[in-house]
A and B are shown apart, each in its own frame.
Chain A
Amino acid sequence: MLKRLADPEFFEALTAVNADRDEPPLRPVYGTRDPLAGLVADDAPAAPRTSHHRLLKYLRREVLPTTFCVGCGGGTVLNAFAHAVDEMRIDPKGIVCVTGIGCSSWIPSPYFLCDTLHTTHGRAIAFATGVKVMRPDMKVIIIAGDGDLAGIGGNHLIHAARRNLDLTVFLVNNFIYGMTGGQVSPTTPFGAKTTTTPYKNVEHPFKIADIVAAAGGSYVARWTTYHVFQLMESMQNAIDKKGFSFVEIISQCPVSFGKMTGMGDPVVQLKDLRDRSIHIDDAKGLTEDELEHRFVVGKLVERKRAEFGDGLQELIANRRESLSEELDGGLRQDTSALETGR
């Protein structure tokens, strides 16, 4: 008979949990801790912090500065998102940001100050579906990358578009698995060199926005981190639109994508994004070959279809309607009535 796992130290550690009952929680370690403590001469002038940016109120200050690489497009997406929310005057307390795993999943999480759900790789949209069905009154916004949403999470992406639940998805496409060091992704261009295609990428990439459009998305657009004004407006349209809205945001990744493609300078890569972009109206006459290495930007699709959440509410209402007659004309309350406040 094996003795019970009776290591006294183990159990002491378990009971030690109670010891921190009276202690306040530890403050987070990023941001508020000075990373240069001990490294800068004591008499060096104090770091000037202006921090008057009026949008900093939308961010979790204790985790700044960001961990993004120098010139990362992800930071620009966060910037555009904060601007969009600000312009729309949405109270962030009514927003839930759901993300997956990867650099792009770090855009709102933990930086954006609202309810944030940082999930497992590829599953953000599925988690978000559960959230939105239970809280149709909140804005549920998913921000994640190409590997996360179009690779491992591809199935959830197309089914969510098909279902047309009122979600907003910002897929940040930097053509690479960035966080893990630069492996090929389902959107990496044909022929590109990456750490797992060190000779040449012999796979063809997805045009992911087109796939979502075909799967039934109600609002589908594509922009880049260069087109910040159009991007911000597109984000607003996507958030506003009732139904599954999707914006593919092409973004520069100077380090993981740039290192093996010769575009390690964020300015160079961003200029490349600008030069390769072509507006959808201008692309109309062109063949697939001519558009091979270009990004078609703009609104691809906008349609109106019955929304999934509405459908579920309808099922409840109808079922209760027919039941109430059976339950002795029992309690027939208008199930579409909303409680105000919580």
Chain B
Amino acid sequence: MIYIDEEFCKGCRICSEFCPTGVLGESETLNRKGYYPPVVAEEAECHGCRLCELLCPEFAIFIVNEWLDEQAG
């Protein structure tokens, strides 16, 4: 499950550009600061690699799934 915090996002596009499977696209709605946050375009392609979560400079995108929750303990 991919969570995006639109209000933290500054529209740098690092997550969508570096996603290895092209899961993310760009929203057509501006957030309140005037940036276009990402949207989940191809959810099925997400393998939960968490590259987007780790690359994001703003803690604006993160993955939640059972396996990860187990790892986190």
List, in ascending order, chain B residues with CB within 8 A of A89's CB: 73
Known: A232-B54, A270-B18. A55 touches B59 (CB 8 A): yes
A73 near B72 with CB under 8 A, answer no
B12 near A76 with CB under 8 A, answer no
Per-residue CB proximity of A57-85 to B under 8 Å, as 1/0? 00100001110101111111011101100
Residue A47 at the B interface, CB < 8 A?
yes
B32 near A70 with CB under 8 A, answer no
CB within 8 Å of A: which B1-54 residues = 3-8, 10-14, 17-18, 31-33, 35, 51, 53-54
B14 near A267 with CB under 8 A, answer yes
Residue A17 at the B interface, CB < 8 A?
no
Inter-chain CA distance A225–B33, complex, in Å, is 25
Q: Interface residue count for B (Cβ, 8 Å)?
A: 29
A158 to chain B, nearest CB (A): 30
List, in ascending order, chain A residues with CB within 8 A of B73's CB: 89
Per-residue CB proximity of A271-284 to B under 8 Å, as 1/0? 10000000000000
B57 near A51 with CB under 8 A, answer no
Q: Which of B8, B17, B57 contacts A64 (CB 8 A)?
A: B8
> Which residue of A has the minimal Cβ distance to B72?
A54
Residue A53 at the B interface, CB < 8 A?
yes
Residue A151 at the B interface, CB < 8 A?
no
List, in ascending order, chain B residues with CB within 8 A of A117's CB: none
List, in ascending order, chain B residues with CB within 8 A of A79's CB: 53-57, 59
Residue A228 at the B interface, CB < 8 A?
yes
Inter-chain CA distance A53–B32, complex, in Å, is 20
A71 near B14 with CB under 8 A, answer yes
List, in ascending order, chain A residues with CB within 8 A of B6's CB: 47-48
Q: Which of A65, A71, A232 contacts B8 (CB 8 A)?
A: A65
Residue A30 at the B interface, CB < 8 A?
no
Inter-chain CA distance A254–B12, complex, in Å, is 10
List, in ascending order, chain B residues with CB within 8 A of A228's CB: 51, 54-55
A52 near B64 with CB under 8 A, answer yes
> Which residue of B has the minimal Cβ distance to A78?
B57
B62 near A70 with CB under 8 A, answer no
Inter-chain CA distance A206–B61, complex, in Å, is 35
B72 near A65 with CB under 8 A, answer no
A266 near B72 with CB under 8 A, answer no
Q: Which of A50, A59, A82 contacts B5 (CB 8 A)?
A: A50
Known: A40-B32, A50-B5, A52-B3. A65 touches B58 (CB 8 A): yes
Inter-chain CA distance A70–B58, complex, in Å, is 9
Residue A229 at the B interface, CB < 8 A?
yes
A76 near B56 with CB under 8 A, answer yes
B57 near A76 with CB under 8 A, answer yes
Q: Which of A48, A72, A82 contacts B7 (CB 8 A)?
A: A48
Known: A54-B62, A75-B56. A267 touches B17 (CB 8 A): yes
> Which residue of A has the minimal Cβ distance to B9?
A65
> Which residue of A has the minimal Cβ distance to B53?
A79
A47 to chain B, nearest CB (A): 5
Inter-chain CA distance A267–B73, complex, in Å, is 34
Residue A36 at the B interface, CB < 8 A?
yes
Known: A71-B12, A267-B12. A76 touches B55 (CB 8 A): yes
List, in ascending order, chain B residues with CB within 8 A of A55's CB: 59, 62
- What residues of chain B have their CB less than 8 Å away from a CB belonging to chain A? 3-8, 10-14, 17-18, 31-33, 35, 51, 53-59, 62, 64, 72-73
